[in-house]
Amino acid sequence: MASGGSPRKALVLFGPPGSGKGTQAKLLTQTLRYPHISTGDMLREHIKAGDSIGTKVRDLLKAGQLVPDEMVDEMVRERIDRPDCERGFILDGYPRTLQQAKTILDRFRERSIEPTVVYLKVDEDKLVGRLTNRRQCPQCGTLYNVLLKPPIVRGRCDMEGARLIVREDDREDVIRERFENYARQTQPVIAFLEKNAPFFAVEASEASPEQIFLQIGEFVRNGERR
């Protein structure tokens, strides 16, 4: 239980690559004061640190294999038990498999954590258009969009001044393959979560990040009032 007797909250953000999960997580973190937990970021941090987990993950990815559910589950379990998560937390990029979904809901029940799932739905063609116009600073990692969120100086990061790059996974053929893989893998997960947790699907193809954020906030507040 969180301090003051209130149950801990878990906000689970779901959506395909490029749907805006990271943007919504940042907005929600600022409002709710919950830590943003991204399994992708956690894996990259372990790889960068060169620790035992990072070495295993790097070897698996080089071999074209997926990181085992057990390894990801353990990282998430350890992370959500830290003191900064005692009120609640935001999960981004997890669960990705049906087994992970079953494991984390069991964990929530054991810890008296109340989950809320937010699914960002995005049309594939609009997603491709969004991501192929994306640029990233190689130094600080800040993302831009040449149409929707351009830098002040064309082709240069606002903060670092570094020349922006196109990520390898932002090519159209790669994006469509990732979208197909995501849809195939996560449909059973979405169906399971929809049946077993408060679930909110928001159309994120056309709405601005601010509009999506307001919709999520209203859903979370309504859920807390029930």
CATH number, domain of 118, equals 3.40.50.300
pLDDT, mean of residues 155-168: 92
Least confident stretch, 21-25, 133-137, 205-209 = 205-209
Q: Indicate if the pLDDT at residue 3 is higher than 50.
A: no
DSSP 165: B
For strand 113-121 and strand 88-92, is the pairing parallel, antiparallel, or unpaired? unpaired
Residue 213 belongs to a domain: yes
Q: Indicate if the pLDDT at residue 226 is higher than 60.
A: no
pLDDT > 70: percent of the chain? 95
Q: Which one is catalytic: 178, 195, 225, 226?
A: 178
| Torsion sign over Cα 68, 138, 18, 159 | positive
Range of the domain at 198: 3-125+186-225
Residue 149 belongs to a domain: no
The per-residue pLDDT for range 80-95, each reduced to its tens digit, is: 999 999 999 999 989 9
Q: Which one is catalytic: 134, 149, 195, 225?
A: 134
Does an H or E element contain 134, and which?
strand 134-136
- Beta bridge mates, 165: 136
Residue 134 belongs to a domain: no
Residue for token digits 């004061």? Answer: 33
State the angle between helix axes of 69-80 and 98-110 in degrees (0 to 180), rounded to the nearest 10. Answer: 30
pLDDT, mean of residues 139-146: 89
Q: What is the pLDDT of residue 198?
A: 92
Task: Tell me how many domains the chain contains.
Answer: 1
DSSP 207: S
Residue 176 belongs to a domain: no
Nearest to 19 by CA among 126, 170, 133, 143: 126
Q: Which one is catalytic: 9, 96, 130, 135?
A: 96
Q: Which amino acid is at 168?
A: E
Find which of 36-50, 57-71, 129-143, 190-204 is predicted with most confidence, using mean pLDDT: 190-204
Residue 143 belongs to a domain: no
Q: Which one is catalytic: 8, 9, 21, 130?
A: 21
- Under 8 Å between Cβ of 119 and 200: yes
Q: Indicate if the pLDDT at residue 4 is higher than 70.
A: no
Residue 114 belongs to a domain: yes
Rounded CA separation 7/2 (Å):
5
Residue 196 belongs to a domain: yes
Is 167 a known active-site residue?
yes
Residue for token digits 């469509």? Answer: 176
Tokens of 213: 């954020």
Q: What is the pTM of this model?
A: 0.76
Is 96 a known active-site residue?
yes
DSSP 86: S
Is 44 a known active-site residue?
no
For strand 8-14 and strand 88-92, is the pairing parallel, antiparallel, or unpaired? parallel
Residue 57 belongs to a domain: yes
